[in-house]
Amino acid sequence: MRLVLGIESSCDETAAALVTPDRVIVAQRIASQDDAHRPYGGVVPEIAARAHAERLTPLIAATLADAGKTLADVDAIAATAGPGLIGGVMVGLVTAKALAMAGGKPLLAINHLEGHALSPRLADPTLAFPYLLLLASGGHCQLLLVEGVGQYRRLATTIDDALGEAFDKTAKILALGFPGGPAVERLAREGNPRAVPLPRPLLGSAEPHFSFAGLKSAVLRAKEAAIHADADLAASFQQAAIDCVIDRTRRALAAAGEVTALVVAGGVAANQSVRAALESLAAQHALRFVAPPQVLCTDNAAMIAWAGIERMEQSGWTLSDPLDFAARPRWPL
Ligand code: KG4
Ligand code: ZN
């Protein structure tokens, strides 16, 4: 069985994984840098790049050791080549190039967004194209029509903040720490989602995109007004954000035509209320709802290896990206 090594370093997770074409994640390791960034309340690119540089090589060695494999057993090396924080992306890509060169293996320069877009198929072999994917993380908020390997249509993106970023900023306003999404969700459980009147940017708009900056500013003003309990603010923020997500996703479903499923990925997919709202939207459209396991929703290297495998299978295992492939801070699908 063929084996692909995946490497991910585009944000604040340093990750390596070994994946086979029959969807077995033979080994994977993810080193989170949350502790390093927590004092700053957000990801600091310089700190992230340095941490990737220190951790990646031992992490790859440990991942290979977990599987009882060596570089010689690997058939290709897939690394995130963008988009993301450029210092971190360069660390991962340069490491992959060195391993590819040393081992005489094909290099696969993977678009991180393609990794997210195809990851649901790693978890679920029955998931067929085309499907509509909501990708909602700290860095991205997009609706993608996934029509096939290499065939992605971006139906919507955010014109300001990503959804996870809005959760993180709300957490900061409410002094809940970093990363903020899970803390906001926990506090929201104790609050009334209708207590605080908050805006729902672009709700009902013919414009396809997302916007969360106005919502975040409204949370800040409401906090400064000091009228409402923090739990009510958290719950009302979460409800407003969900209303926006559902409205935008409903619009994209209408624009997408026939799809086999509604799929969610990205860190925000961990949010139970977001999931429940999407599940009910899918049910209204008589669609399957697919949410991959959390470890595949947040940044990981298995999805990068898997995107490499999907591209390799499409090419009959003849593909190899050039060794001078440059890291890309921006790389729309
Ligand atoms: O995919 P991810 O691990 O990293 C990238 O940003 O690419 O996503 C992290 C984001 C953060 O903004 C985090 O606050 C958010 O996902 N998040 C959540 C929850 N868990 C993580 N947002 C809302 N509710 C959650 N339970
Ligand atoms: Zn990501």
Q: Is 120 in the pocket of ligand 1 (CB under 6 A)?
A: no
CB 268 within 8 A of CB 184: no
Q: Is 185 in the pocket of ligand 1 (CB under 6 A)?
A: yes
Task: Report pLDDT for 216.
Answer: 97
Question: In the 8-state DSSP scheme, what is residue 131?
Answer: E
Residues 182 and 237 in one domain: yes
pLDDT of 217 above 90:
yes
pLDDT of 41 above 90:
no
Ligand located closest to 265 CA: 1
Residues 69 and 109 in one domain: yes
Question: In the 8-state DSSP scheme, what is residue 320?
Answer: -
Mean per-residue pLDDT, 240-245: 98
Q: Are strands 131-136 and 261-265 parallel, antiparallel or unpaired?
A: parallel
Task: Report pLDDT for 314.
Answer: 97
For the chain, how long is the longest CA-to-CA vector? 64
Å from CA of 262 to ligand 1 middle: 19
177: region left, alpha or beta (phi > 0 left; psi from -120 to 50 alpha) = left
Residues 261 and 180 in one domain: yes
106 upstream amide cis, omega within 30 of 0? no
Residue 333: pLDDT band (50, 70, 90) is confident
Residues 226 and 281 in one domain: yes
Closest atom of ligand 1 to 272 CA is 26
Residue range 163-201, pLDDT digits in tens: 999 999 999 999 998 889 999 999 999 999 999 999 999
Ligand located closest to 11 CA: 1
Q: Which pair of tokens denotes residue 328?
A: 């890309």
Mean per-residue pLDDT, 154-167: 96
The CATH number given to whatever domain includes residue 64 is: 3.30.420.40
Å from CA of 165 to ligand 1 middle: 8
Residue 310: pLDDT band (50, 70, 90) is very high
Q: Which pair of tokens denotes residue 172?
A: 């900061």
Mean per-residue pLDDT, 36-56: 91
User: What does the chain come to in residues?
Assistant: 333
Å from CA of 181 to ligand 1 middle: 6
Residues 134 and 91 in one domain: no
Residue range 97-116, pLDDT digits in tens: 999 999 999 999 999 999 99
Residues 217 and 102 in one domain: no
Q: If DSSP codes are grouped into helix, strand and coil, which group holds residue 202?
A: coil
Task: Report pLDDT for 18.
Answer: 99
**pTM of the model as a whole:** 0.94
